[in-house]
Structure 1
Amino acid sequence: MAGRRRWSTEEILDAAAELLRTGDADSFSVRRLAATLGTDSSSLYRHFRSKTELLRAVADRILLAAVDGYRPEGDWKQRITGLALRVRDAFGRHPQLATVWGRYASGGTGSRLVMEEVLQALRTSGLPDEKIPAHYHRIVVLLTALITSEAGISTITPEEYDQGMELFRVAVLGADPDQFPALAHFARDLRPLGADRETDFHAILAAQLAQIEATI
């Protein structure tokens, strides 16, 4: 009787990524992944010690894809912006995996390559070494928040989007000026969350980098 097929680490990660693209981290399980591969959970635990370790590895592959072919260009701000946009685009193609990255982070090669480039760029900015870790941390927190937020919005259905727009119109344009005077005053100039996300991404990141530049 032939034994069960032995799956490689890369094949396991491919299958996990596909499951996550059609579901989410909460519904994902090693048992379900094993069933998809036609094997048992114990065979997968030879590659990954836990579900969390497996999810981190899947997210790290997106970071590896983001830095594949990347070459630093321009000054330190252009380098960080260019890298940030590559990471945003990579997770934009796999929004379900962005939430995994935001929740579990990653300690793999992709993560280290991104960390290295941001730190190297900051070192060329003129910041003293003792100030770089704090600014690095703020940049990473900002990027993670922006990218995972965009991913959450991009995974909703058209029906859910329309419902959200209607709720926005009712809550903002229909605000009682006596109870919500500021909201009523600015109502027609406010945009719903998720509108023109790319422009906001550029503007928010540019503001953070400008703040760093002002301290140099």
Structure 2
Amino acid sequence: MTGRRRWSTEEILDTAAELLSTSDPESFSVRKLAAALGTDSSSLYRHFRTKTELLRALADRILLSAMDGYRREGDWKQRLTALALRLREAFGRQPQIAAIWGRYASSGTGSRLVMEEVLQALRAAGLPDEQIPARYHRLVILIAALIAAEGGIGAITPEEHEQGMELFRVAVLGADPERFPALAHFARDVRPLGAERGAAFDDLLAAQLADIEAALP
């Protein structure tokens, strides 16, 4: 009698990533993953005790891929900028998982590598040690939020995008100038949330780093 195939942790994560590429974390389930693998849920719980633990592992794997080949170059601002862009690029390849990083804390190797580099760069900037944890927290929250926002936009289908654009045009160009005078005034210049995402990411990151620089002794 042939025994049931045993799936490796990486094979499970690969299949989970494929399922998430056509769905979202809310509708994703261990039962669906088990069905895709041709097994039952109990066999997967040997690798991951909960769905949350599995999602954390997926996010951490992306963090680990972002840090693969990373080299410290330039001053502290250049290092943090390069790191943020690497994270953005890595999650951009799997946008459905981008929101998971901000939602579920990870304690894996990828997470520790990112934390270590951010903390070391802030220390290299010359910040007093007592200020570094708070600055670290604000910076990482900003980066995770920007990446999650981009991931949410990047994960929608072309049909959903076009529908959203039409609703945006109706809401903005059709605004009543008496009730929404400012909106009506700027209607032809206001852009939807998905527009110029790269420039917004760069500007907000640069502003945060400038704020850190202004606080240096």
- Specify the TM-score bucket, using the shorter chain as the normaliser: over 0.9
Amino acid at match of 2:125: S
2:37 is matched with: 37
Alpha-carbon distance in structure 1 between the residues aligned to 2:169 and 2:59: 36
Alpha-carbon distance in structure 2 between the residues aligned to 1:164 and 1:32: 29
Cα deviation, residue 148, structure 1: 0.7
2:82 is matched with: 82
Q: Deviations over 1:10-45 (max 9, x none)?
A: 111111111111221112111221122222211111
Cα deviation, residue 60, structure 1: 0.7
The 5 A counterparts of 1:19-98 are 19-98=19-98
Amino acid at match of 1:111: S
Report the TM-score when normalising by structure 1: 0.96
Report the TM-score when normalising by structure 2: 0.95
1:105 is matched with: 105
Alpha-carbon distance in structure 1 between the residues aligned to 2:91 and 2:152: 11
Amino acid at match of 1:69: G
Q: Deviations over 1:147-189 (max 9, x none)?
A: 0111111111222222222222222222222211222222222
Cα deviation, residue 106, structure 1: 1.6
Alpha-carbon distance in structure 1 between the residues aligned to 2:189 and 2:38: 54
Alpha-carbon distance in structure 2 between the residues aligned to 1:189 and 1:25: 34
Cα deviation, residue 56, structure 1: 0.5
List alignment gaps of at least 5 residues for structure 2: none
2:205 is matched with: 205
1:152 is matched with: 152
Segment of structure 1 superposing worse, 160-169 or 46-55: 160-169
Alpha-carbon distance in structure 1 between the residues aligned to 2:137 and 2:160: 34
Alpha-carbon distance in structure 2 between the residues aligned to 1:161 and 1:6: 40
Amino acid at match of 2:199: T
> Are 1:165 and 2:165 an aligned pair?
yes
Cα deviation, residue 136, structure 1: 0.6
1:11 is matched with: 11
Amino acid at match of 2:10: E
2:181 is matched with: 181
**Which secondary structure does the structure 1 equivalent of 2:46 belong to?**
coil
Alpha-carbon distance in structure 2 between the residues aligned to 1:9 and 1:91: 20
Alpha-carbon distance in structure 1 between the residues aligned to 2:164 and 2:54: 34
Alpha-carbon distance in structure 2 between the residues aligned to 1:142 and 1:174: 33
**Which secondary structure does the structure 1 equivalent of 2:187 belong to?**
helix
Q: Percent identity?
A: 77
Alpha-carbon distance in structure 2 between the residues aligned to 1:56 and 1:93: 17
Alpha-carbon distance in structure 2 between the residues aligned to 1:161 and 1:25: 20
**Which secondary structure does the structure 1 equivalent of 2:149 belong to?**
helix
Retained in 2: the 8 A contact 1:59–1:105?
no
Segment of structure 1 superposing worse, 53-62 or 11-20: 11-20
Alpha-carbon distance in structure 2 between the residues aligned to 1:27 and 1:174: 35
- Report the RMSD for the aligned CA atoms in angstroms: 1.2
Alpha-carbon distance in structure 1 between the residues aligned to 2:200 and 2:156: 20
